[in-house]
């Protein structure tokens, strides 16, 4: 899905964003780019959204060389990306449900399906009980969940998240990563940029570590984690054992994952 080949990025002020970075992320992966501030994490995401072009080397997504992507093709390319920034804002005059419907309009979803799809996404992201709430009625963690739900509205094949748990307490941060894992299980490739290396180590997922723009470590996911439930995923982050019995919320989420995965499969067959 993602292929960086000796990609370098030197900004106009001379700062080095990336220095001959080479790594690849497979389709369907949940992967992390980790590193301290100014290590190159945000540069990786901005190259993938084609806000930047590499100064050297290349960046490919789904076999497409982004340096050769024409300006007229950018909107279509970006409609197939979900992007979550840690400082993403919501429209203050729209309810949670309306935020999702607006995102569906942008992605070109049929108008007759907006309400049904929005309800499915709210169920998947654990926001069904907040559908009528305005942004100022949400907690910071709920606000972040809405941003993720909005980015996932079009069920993109690739979702990018820039430090999505930043500023949240530990439990809320675990909830955000659990949500991203749930989205990943529907078939979307998810790449998360974060400075929280300790938490990522616990996850034992595909991880690319950056420092001063260079790839300093690249570790594969543990194979036996491929079918881990979202409950087991969250329990391992907490250093606890998952209860083998699914709670009602987890059962509802698992059902939503199955529905979304089926829709992903349908989309792939149509494509």
**Residue 240: what pLDDT?**
54
Cβ-contact 8, 54 below 8 angstroms: yes
**Residue 243: what pLDDT?**
47
**Residue 232: what pLDDT?**
77
- Two tokens, residue 95: 């309810």
Least confident of 27-36, 190-199, 240-249: 240-249
Q: How confident is the model at residue 268 (pLDDT cuts 50, 70, 90)?
A: low
The string of pLDDT tens digits covering residues 186-239 is 899 999 999 988 778 778 889 999 999 999 999 887 766 666 777 777 776 776
Residue ranges of domains in the chain, CATH in brackets? 2-270 (3.40.50.300)
| Mean predicted confidence (pLDDT) in 8-17 | 91
The string of pLDDT tens digits covering residues 45-101 is 999 999 999 999 999 999 999 999 999 999 989 988 999 987 778 999 999 999 999
- Torsion of the alpha carbons at 185, 235, 176 and 252, rounded to the nearest 10: 60
Of the two residues 267 and 65, the one the predictor is more confident about is 65
The string of pLDDT tens digits covering residues 146-167 is 999 999 998 999 999 999 988 8
The count of C-alpha atoms lying within 13 angstroms of the C-alpha of 5, restricted to the half-sphere facing its C-beta, is 11
- Two tokens, residue 146: 């809405």
- Two tokens, residue 10: 């030197």
**Residue 246: what pLDDT?**
44
**Residue 197: what pLDDT?**
83
> 192 - beta bridge partners?
32, 161
Distance (Å, whole) CA 230 – CA 206: 17
Annotate the chain with three-state secondary structure.
Answer: CEEEEEEEEECCCCCEEEEEEEEEECCCCEEEEECCCCCCHHHHHHHHCCCCCCCEEEEEECCEEHHHCCHHHHHHHHHCEEEEECCCCCCCCCCHHHHHHHHHHHHCCCHHHHHHHHHHHHHHCCCHHHCCCCHHHCCHHHHHHHHHHHHCCCCCCEEEEECCCCCCCHHHHHHHHHHHHHHHHCCCEEEEEECCHHHHHHHCCEEEEEECCEEEEEECCCHHHCCCCHHHHHHHHHCCCCCCCCCHHHHHHHHHHHHHHHHHHHHHHHC
Q: How confident is the model at residue 245 (pLDDT cuts 50, 70, 90)?
A: very low
58: nearest Cα among 14, 15, 11, 2: 2
Query: Mean pLDDT across the chain, nearest whole number?
Result: 86
Least confident of 106-115, 141-150, 257-266: 257-266
Share of the chain above pLDDT 90, in %: 60
**Residue 110: what pLDDT?**
83
- Two tokens, residue 205: 């997922």
**Residue 99: what pLDDT?**
94
Burial 25-43 (b: 16+ CB within 10 A, else e): beeebbbbbbbeeebbbbb
Residue 138, exposed/middle/buried by CB under 10 A (0-12, 13-18, 19+)?
Answer: middle
| Mean predicted confidence (pLDDT) in 100-119 | 89
* pTM, to two decimals: 0.84
The answer for residues whose C-beta is within 8 angstroms of residue 33's C-beta and 6 or more apart is 41, 44, 191, 192, 193, 194, 207, 208, 209, 210
């Amino acid at each position: 899905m993602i292929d960086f080949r000796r990609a370098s990025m030197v900004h106009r002020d001379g700062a080095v964003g990336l220095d001959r970075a080479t790594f690849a992320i497979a389709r369907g992966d949940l992967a992390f780019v980790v590193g301290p501030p100014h290590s190159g994490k945000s540069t990786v995401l901005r190259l993938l959204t084609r806000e930047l072009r590499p100064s050297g080397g290349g960046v490919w997504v789904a076999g497409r060389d982004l340096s050769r992507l024409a300006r007229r093709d950018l909107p279509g390319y970006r409609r197939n990306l979900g992007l979550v920034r840690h400082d993403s804002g919501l429209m203050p005059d729209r309810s949670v449900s309306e935020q999702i419907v607006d995102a569906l309009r942008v992605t070109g979803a049929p108008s007759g399906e907006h309400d049904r799809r929005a309800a499915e996404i709210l169920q998947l992201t654990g926001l069904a009980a907040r559908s009528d709430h305005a942004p100022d009625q949400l907690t910071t963690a709920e606000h972040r969940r809405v941003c993720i739900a909005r980015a996932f509205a079009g069920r993109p094949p690739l979702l990018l998240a820039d430090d999505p748990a930043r500023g949240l307490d530990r439990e809320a941060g675990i909830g955000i990563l659990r949500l991203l894992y749930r989205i990943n299980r529907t078939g979307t490739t998810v790449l998360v940029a974060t400075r929280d290396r300790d938490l990522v180590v616990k996850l034992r997922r595909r991880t690319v570590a950056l420092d001063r723009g260079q790839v300093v470590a690249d570790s594969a996911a543990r194979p036996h984690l491929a079918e881990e439930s979202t409950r087991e995923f969250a329990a391992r982050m907490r250093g606890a054992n998952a209860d083998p019995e699914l709670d009602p919320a987890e059962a509802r989420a698992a059902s939503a994952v199955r529905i979304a995965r089926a829709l992903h499969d349908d989309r792939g067959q149509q494509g």
